[in-house]
Each structure stands twice: as C-alpha cells, then as structure tokens.
Structure 1
C-alpha cells in the first residue's frame, strides 16, 4: 500500500538562494528505538559560517554542545556519545543551487524521490535474510538499515527542497508473516531558501515489535 503526499508543496527547481553572512547555529536530534523498547536520544549543535568564492560556497563549523539521553542499561553507549565530538556535515562544499557536492547523499529533486530511495534500501535489507524465519532478526536488519540512512547527510540539507512526502508498505516476511515499513520526510525553508527545519522518520514493525528512527535538523542565524 502506497501513500505519497507533496507535489505542489515542493520548491521549484532553480529558485534563487542566498548564502547568508555571519554565523549560524545548526542543531540535530537523532532518536533511535532499540531492543527492549529502549530509546537513545543524541542532540548536538554546531556553530557554522558560509564562505563564498563566486561559484561555490564552503560551509565550515565546529561542535559547541552535545546531549545524550538513554536508560541506565545503555549508559556505556551514552558515555561514548557524550565524549565523541562529531564534525556533522562540516566542512561541506555547496554548488550554486545550495546542494552539497561530494560524498553527501540525498535527493536534490524532491522529498518523494528520497522516500522511494529509502524504501528501496529497506526492502533490500529484508530480502538479504533469505529464508530466515526469525522475525526479530528481520526487524533488527530493517532497524539497522534505518539507522544507517539517518546517519547520511541529505544533499539539500542547507537549502532544502521544501515539502513533505511519506510512504507506507507491507512487506512479506520469510515464513509467510508480514511486516510494515513507513518513511516520512518534511522540510521547510526561510528567507533565501536557507534551512528552517528538516525531519526524517523511518518506522519498522514486525508482529508486536516496533522500532523508530527519527532525525531532525534546524538552523538559526545569529
């Protein structure tokens, strides 16, 4: 079953963007539901700036804060995350459309295309289990793929294609069972096309077990 929303809400390609002067604060929250309904939340913030050379822009920044919330039995993982300094999306080279060029991944065409690409990755992850009949292993594989996708930086992060899209599918599991996968993306922009908010959610369910990977970005000028 397929549900896609968006279309008219997407920003038109070729819309003029403006690289701002001064500094900005970029924030990211990543929340992952893990085994036994445990939730790990990692929130970071970076101070950044744009430097233009007439044809492209270099975005540089450094981490200024981090916060990790986790249950007691995940404290070893939480401690590692607290001590780790993340470079986030920095440094990043942007083309004149505001898209990250290089290793960043994401859709420059629109959110619907990004949702479809994510769904394809999840379906492939499930199929790699072959004839394995253990549903928990199937869910673990889907959840791991969802985590990997939320760790990738969208190519249009700083100047997003505005809009939202979602898709939900029922997948056939080994042994004749069924699982559900849903992906949701939403982005908004401020003056000059600069990022306001970006949200990405990937939910997987097998039997009564469910996992959610949620990521959100926001940017504010100083």
Structure 2
C-alpha cells in the first residue's frame, strides 16, 4: 500500500468516505460526513476541500464525495489496521464485539506498519473482522461476499449472517443475546410493520433446529445475509 497521510484527521475522513459506500450505500455528502465526524458542516467542507487539493478525493459542488485512487489506497490501509486491531482485541484480549470499535479508532493511528503485519501473522491472516467486515490485504484488495440487507429479505427467505454493523454497540449486544451471530442462519417468518418488528427463526452454525426471535427495525437494519 502507498504511504499513509500523517494527519489523523485525514486518515479518519478517508476511512469514513470509504465506509459510506463499502456495502452499497450512496456516496457521502458534506453534511452527512459532518454528522459522522461530529463536526460542523463548514469544518467538514474545509477539510474536504483540502483533501481534494491533496488529490485524495473528488468532490463536485453540492454532489457526493468520492475517493481518488491514492485516497482509496490510504483509506484501505486504515481500514486494514482498524479491522485487524478489532480482531486482535476480540480473539486475544477478551474484548466483546461491542467494545472494540472505539479502542481500534485510537490504536489504528499509533501502530506501525510492522506491528500491523505482525498482528496479521499472529491472527493467521484473517479475511474478516468480528463483525464480518472484510479485512483488506496488504496490497489493498478487498473481497465482498454477495449479500443483501436482512431488511430487504422477503418472508419465507433467509440466509447465513455475513455482516453485522458495529455502529450501535447496544444493537450488537441485543443481537448476541438472541443468538444472531456471524454464520448463524436467519429466516424471515413474518414482518410486523404495525409494531416495527419482524419475526425470524435463528439457527446457530452447525445446528439444524432454530428458535423464534422477534427483532425491532434497528436490529434488523444492522444485519446482512448471503444473497
């Protein structure tokens, strides 16, 4: 991968711009980026303008923000660091999957390239993090499995859980409590829009019998399954 920008702010912005579209979402706007980064719209706009001047992003006036080739490589390097650190914290340091995001946000800026590669070797070169997000290779390659949001899966269909968003720790804790983990099979039984919930059967990996689970819309929105 190309050398990382030295600014933590630049690293965080590039990672956020990449994350917005990774699973099929629309390109982020200045206002959406400002909300994600916890800054004012004017601060986000000025930072995006600087990133464009540095050749890291494209931004059409009033349009979406996209990464240039060099910006994407830098973003993927940061994503790789973040997800390897999350995996290390869960697999070797006893963290829950709902606890690792904020820790990784801090540590990803401090580790050296050498330490990142030693972590990768220690973990056996994992291809996904504890939430199912793919870990880019050292060369910046990413493989996304064919998926669809659980919220777009019709009644009578389902799939193996391949990704669970880590945006809301309380949602992660709830999903873990009801058995919705990576590689569990989830089948849609009945949508109940009048109460904002959906009924599923959830079958743990390697088992044949599932249990009925009712999930609210925020929990459903956090889950991706095989297409």
**Bigger relative CO (Cα 8 Å, ≥ 6 apart):** 1
Same fold (TM over 0.5): no
Bin the TM-score by the shorter chain: under 0.3
TM-score computed with the length of structure 1 as normaliser: 0.25
The structure with the largest helix share of the pair is: 2
